Amino acid sequence: MNRKLLISMLGSMLIAASAGAQSKLNVMTTTEDLAAIAREVGGDRITVEAIARGYQDPHFVEAKPSFILKLQKADLLIVVGRELEIGWLPPLVQQSRNGKIQPGAEGYLDASLGAQILEIPTGQITRAMGDVHPLGNPHYWMDPENGKRIGKEIADAFDRQRPGNKAYFDQRLNDFTTRLDAAEKKWLAMMAPYKGTKVVTYHRSFPNFAERFGLEIVGYVEPRPGIPPTPQHTLDLITEMKRQNVKVMLIEPYFDLKTPTAIGRETGARVLVMPPSVGGVKETSDYFSLFDYNINLLVDALKK
C-alpha cells in the first residue's frame, strides 16, 4: 500500500517535473539588450541567456565552443540582425547541431524585422566607406519605440513556440509596453530642454537614440565605421567641433578613451562613457535602467 503510494507520488512528481521543463522555453540571444526584453516578456516561463556581454563590442565576439553547447539546447535564438553578428554567429549556429535555430527555421528570430532601421544606404556602397552595414544601422534597440517593436516580435515568437502560454506572454508584453510608454514620456520630458544639442560619438551606435531624444550627431571619432581614428581626421573633428560648439562626446565603453580625451581637452567637450547596451556598465541591468542611466548621464552633463 505504502509502496504504491510512493510510486504514484514519484510518478506524479516526474510528470510535473517534465511538464515544467517542457513549458520553460530555452531562449538564447546574441546581446544582453535582447535578453533583457525577452526577460520582460517571458517572465518565469523562459530561461534566457545572452552570448555577448554588454561591455564588449558586439561586432567582435569570439565564437567560443562553449557558446555552441548553449546554442545546442536552445529552443529559440534571437539575433539583432542587420549583419551585426556576421563575423561570429554563423559558425556558432552551424556547429550547434540544432535544426530549430538555423536561419529561416521556426526558432530563429531576427528582432530587426519589425523595428525602425536608420541609415539604410541608398546608392552604391563600397568598403571604401569602412565596415558599413548594407542593411542599415544595427544599433536600433537604442530607441524605446523600437524596444516595444522588439518586444512584440519576441512575444509573437514565444506564442508560436508555446501557444499554451499565449495569454501569459501577451499580458506581460502589454505590461512592458505600458511601463515603457510611461518611462519614455519621462525620458522625453527630461531631454526636452536639450533638444538639438550637438554631440559627437565614437562609432555610429546612437543614431536611433539621438533621433528619439533630439540630439544632433555632428561627427564621429572614427573616420569611417570600423577604422580607428587617424591624426588628420582627429584634427578635422576638433576644428568642426569648435566651429559647431560641440560640448559633449558619447563614447561606448569598449573604445579606448585616449583620442576622445585628447579631443575633449582641445575643444572643452565633456567625454561621457555611454553604454549602448544593457550590461555596458553595472548600473544598466535591464532595458529601463539602460535609458535611465544614459539620460541621467546626459542631463547631468548638459546641466552644467
Partner 1 sequence: MSHRFCYAAFVLVVLSAATASAQAAPQPPDAQALRSAIDDLKKDFEARLSALETRLAAIEGGQQAAAAQPLPAPPPPPPSPAGEPPSAATFSAPQGSANAPDGAASKVFNPDMAVIGDFLGTAGRVHTDPANNITPAPAFEMHESEASFQAVVDPYARADFFLSFGEEGVNLEEGFVTLTSLPGGLLTKVGKMRAAFGKVNSLHNHVLPWADRPLVIKNLVGGEDGISDAGVSVAKLIPNSWLFLEATGQVFRGDSGSPESPLYQTSQRGQLSYVAHLRGYQDLSESTNLDLGASWSRGYNATGLPQDIDNLTTRLIGFDATVRWKPLRRSIYHSFVGRSEVIWSSREQPDGLQSGMGYYVSGDYQFARRWFAGIRFDGSDRAYDSSLHDSGGSAILTYWPSEFSQVRGQYRRTAYAIGPAANEFLFQFQFSIGAHGAHPF
List residues near partner 1 by CB under 8 A: 53, 55-57, 60-66, 68-69, 72, 83, 86-88, 90-91, 94-95, 97-99, 102-105, 110, 112-113, 117, 120-125, 127, 130-131, 134-135, 226-228, 253-256
Cβ of residue 104: shortest distance to partner 1, in angstroms? 7
By beta-carbon proximity to partner 1, the closer residue of 274 and 295 is 274
Short-list 263, 234, 232, 239, CA closest to 250 = 263
By beta-carbon proximity to partner 1, the closer residue of 131 and 170 is 131
Cβ of residue 98: shortest distance to partner 1, in angstroms? 7
Q: Are 158 and 25 in contact (CB under 8 A)?
A: yes
Cβ of residue 6: shortest distance to partner 1, in angstroms? 29
Cβ of residue 59: shortest distance to partner 1, in angstroms? 8
**What is d(CA 132, CA 224) in angstroms, rounded to the nearest whole number?**
8
By beta-carbon proximity to partner 1, the closer residue of 62 and 236 is 62
Short-list 28, 32, 105, CA closest to 74 = 28
DSSP state of 239: H
Cβ of residue 179: shortest distance to partner 1, in angstroms? 27
**What is d(CA 161, CA 22) in angstroms, rounded to the nearest whole number?**
11
**What is d(CA 282, CA 163) in angstroms, rounded to the nearest whole number?**
35
Q: Are 35 and 150 in contact (CB under 8 A)?
A: no
Q: Which residue has the cell 561627427?
A: 219
By beta-carbon proximity to partner 1, the closer residue of 45 and 198 is 198
By beta-carbon proximity to partner 1, the closer residue of 73 and 179 is 73
